[in-house]
């Protein structure tokens, strides 16, 4: 391959990802496997995303007995999800948790 062909090939062909698409999707699927065990999977989904000022009590009751409540909350915090009830916590409650975690990191530094 000439130098010109090498340059052209690098322009036309995108770089290969470090992992295959199938490996990536498998990783994502495994990361979210906890969702299959979530108590909310069979509950009214709208209750977890109430209108502003709406009640989150039903959603929090469902979450109270959920076997993957901790994973759900961790997912919401790690992904900065700002809407809905996740892991039994409302938007405001998660905001407080994020603020507290930031403060603890600042104090530890």
Q: Around 52, how many Cα atoms within 13 Å sit in the side-chain half-sphere? A: 1
66 is in an annotated binding site: yes
43 labelled ligand-binding: no
- Three-class SS of residue 86? strand
Asked if residue 33 belongs to a known ligand binding site, the reply is no
Known binding residue 72? Answer is: yes
Distance (Å, whole) CA 101 – CA 108: 11
Residues flagged as binding site for [4Fe-4S] cluster:
40, 63, 66, 72
Residues flagged as binding site:
40, 63, 66, 72
């Amino acid at each position: 391959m000439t130098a010109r062909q090498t340059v052209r090939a690098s322009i036309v062909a995108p770089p290969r990802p470090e992992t295959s698409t199938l490996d990536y999707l498998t990783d994502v699927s495994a990361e979210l496997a906890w969702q299959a065990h979530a108590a909310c999977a069979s509950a009214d989904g709208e209750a977890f995303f109430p209108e502003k000022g709406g009640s989150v009590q039903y959603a929090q009751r469902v979450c109270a007995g959920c076997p993957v409540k901790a994973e759900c909350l961790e997912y919401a915090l790690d992904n900065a999800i700002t809407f809905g009830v996740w892991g039994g916590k409302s938007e405001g409650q998660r905001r407080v948790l994020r603020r507290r975690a930031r403060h603890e990191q600042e104090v530890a530094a």
